[in-house]
Amino acid sequence: MTNPHPTPPDATTPARPPRESDPTLPTPAAGPQPPPAPTDGAQTSQAPATDGAQLPQGPPAPAPAPAPADSLQLPQPPPAAADGARPPQGAPAPDRESRTGGPGGNPNPAEGRTLTTDPHPHPHPHPHQPPGLDAHLIVDRASFRLDITLTAAPGDVVALLGPNGAGKTTALRALAGLTPLTDGHLCLDGTSLDDTPPESRPVGVVFQDYLLFPHLTALDNVAFGPRCRGASKAEARSQAAAWLERMGLSAHAGVKPRRLSGGQAQRVALARALATRPRLLLLDEPLAALDARTRLEIRAQLRRRLAEFEAVSVLVTHDPLDAMVLADRLVVVEHGRVVQEGTPADIARHPRTDYIAQLVGLNLYRGQAAGHAVRLEAGPAITTTEELSGPVFVAFPPSAVTLFRDRPSGASARNLWRCEVAGLETRGDQIRADLTGELPLAADLTTVAAAELELYPGASVWATVKATQTHAYPA
């Protein structure tokens, strides 16, 4: 039988449409997409073609708006597939635009749009590159520049810690492929991901608001990732059931997100991210949406899960307790730069910026040391037990400060300053006094002591700190 549509000499078969998008891995930017299959009895308008040609697909859909720069959001996955897995609406698209060409790093945006089932589809191996994460992330915006270096070995949990606007979420978006690098590089397990589109990266993401599919059960939410990696429906559901069991959620497999508690939803989101077997797990403020009691429980569970994870984990948070408990190493980012990096214990004991000192609850000063005396850059001298020379930091906790209304006589403390109470704040069973004067500092005292001293804003006091309670270290 003669085909009424013969193939023209230059015709090519369009790429197979991708499977459903993995909720943990963003979908490619909009490009030429196949039209939906016609329903029973529907007619499709077609132009005449020669023998054997498959018609090209319809015009490309307009590209969705990019995600906001200050939030890490999942782009909207494609329409429902045959098994009924439909992604949620309203999620923004990635703003990936490669430095080498069209979306996703392909110079021809009409090519390479099929979602591969291989978790490492674009290998650019570096044979001498150690396993783990090696990234130099440079992102330029109109009024902001991110320039940080991140390295981590398999099994490491790294926390990006910093104030709002420091660049933590921008860094996470760059690792996920949602924000393009202006310069720098990104290698994972010796494979360059510089021009690998987001949906092809071996990356799992747990979003701050979890972004579970509201119309799918917990089981199908978790199964969605393996399905996007090419697993059959039965295999994906089997893997999802195993992950829910590990998370202690087997009894909630058939429950939809609206009936899950905050802690349960967080564990489903984590299971969904891990079910794709990523080589890099990204967590964006994973505990921020939980109440205090639930956060305490989930923090302990999340720590156990991250300890079991054999690849690299990167956690973004502004909560120092989350960072100290969950991470092996802290990377403190301020104004788009790394200002300090180290273990939680080292950073807590040796803060190098006012922001870090406030996080860990220390008074911090910088000055020039000559023996046991440190002359501060602005203010008096502080006597310490360490004997140093040159630029140093001096730190001591607010609890080390003793207050007097009158100048103490015969005090053993060598450090004595006249101050004024700028403010008082209740912190549990303690009162935090913010002091100004010869040396701005914070002091903690009991409510009874505050009452006996008759403290109030504007009151004059004398503050003392023993040299043995200070800690000096090189700047």
How far apart, in whole angstroms, are the C-alpha atoms of residue 133 and residue 126? Answer: 12
Q: Per-residue confidence at 196, pLDDT binned at 50, 70, 90? A: very high
Scan for tokens 């902001």, then name that residue: 144
Strand partners for 65: none
Among 115-129, 142-156, 370-384, the range scoring the smallest mean pLDDT is: 115-129
CB atoms < 10 A from the CB of 85, how many?
A: 23
Residue 66 has pLDDT above 70, yes or no: no
Determine contact, residues 47/5, Cβ cutoff 8 Å.
no
Mean pLDDT, the chain, rounded, equals 79
The confidence band for 127, taking pLDDT boundaries of 50, 70 and 90, is low
pLDDT tops 90 at residue 334: yes
Q: How many CB atoms lie within 10 A of CB 126?
A: 13
Please tell me the distance from the alpha carbon of residue 148 to that of residue 166, in angstroms, as a whole number.
11
Question: Could you give phi then psi for residue 340, rounded to 5 degrees?
Answer: -165, 145
Q: Could you give the percent of the chain with pLDDT greater than 90?
A: 62
Give the model's pLDDT for residue 129. 67
pLDDT value of residue 414: 79
Closest CA to 369 of 350, 388, 396: 388
| Model confidence band, residue 23 (pLDDT cutoffs 50, 70, 90) | very low
- Given pLDDT bands bounded at 50, 70 and 90, which one contains residue 128? low
- Per-residue pLDDT reduced to its tens digit, 378-388: 779 999 999 99
Please report the pLDDT score of residue 409 as a whole number: 81
Lowest-confidence pick of 125-139, 274-288, 293-307, 329-343: 125-139
Which of 21, 309, 71 minimizes the C-alpha distance to 172? 71
Distance CA 349, CA 334 (A): 19
Eight-state DSSP code of residue 35: P
pLDDT, position 207? 87
| Interval 404-432 mean pLDDT | 88
Contact partners, residue 39, CB within 8 Å, separation at least 6: none
- Helices and strands per DSSP (H, E), number in the chain: 9, 18
Tokens matching residue 91? 């999620």
Give pLDDT tens digits for 430-449: 999 999 999 999 999 999 99
pLDDT band at 87 (very low <50, low <70, confident <90, very high): very low
Two structure tokens written together for 281: 């797990």
Q: What is the largest CA-CA distance in the chain?
A: 112
Q: Is 32's pLDDT higher than 70?
A: no
Give the distance, in angstroms, between the CA of residue 305 and the centroid of all CA atoms in the same chain.
17
List, in sequence order, the alpha helices (H) in 34-190: 168-176
Residue 413: predicted pLDDT: 60
Above 70 in pLDDT, residue 89? no
Cα atoms in the 13 Å half-sphere on the side-chain side of 236: 22
Determine which of 119-123, 137-141, 225-229 has the lowest per-residue pLDDT on average.
Answer: 119-123
334, 340, 344, 350 alpha-carbon torsion, rounded to 10°? -120
Residue pointed to by tokens 């979003």: 207
- Which percentage of the chain shows pLDDT scores above 70? 72
Q: In the structure, what pLDDT confidence band is assigned to residue 70 with cuts at 50, 70 and 90?
A: very low
Q: What is the pLDDT of residue 411?
A: 58
Is the model's pLDDT at 40 over the cut of 80? no
Alpha-carbon gap, residue 468 to 445, rounded angstroms: 19
Closest alpha carbon to 144 in 122, 115, 164, 121: 164
* 3-state secondary structure (DSSP) of residue 474: strand
pTM, two decimals, is 0.70
Q: What does the pLDDT read at residue 292?
A: 83
- Domains of the chain by start residue, with CATH: 161-345 (3.40.50.300), 353-395 (no CATH), 396-474 (2.40.50.100)
In the predicted model, what is the mean pLDDT of residues 245-251?
93
Which DSSP string do the residues of 78-111 spell out, in sequence order?
PSP-TT---PPS-PPBP----TTSSGGG-SSTTS
Tokens for 456, please give them: 């109030």
Helix extents (H) in 247-276: 262-274
Q: Rounded mean pLDDT of 188-214?
A: 92
What are the strands, taking DSSP E only, across 155-230? 157-161, 183-188, 191-192, 203-206
Amino acid (one-letter) located at 175: L
pLDDT computed for residue 13 by the predictor: 38
**394 pLDDT exceeds 50?**
yes
Strand-pair category, 145-152 with 157-161: unpaired
The answer to whether residue 295 scores a pLDDT higher than 60 is yes
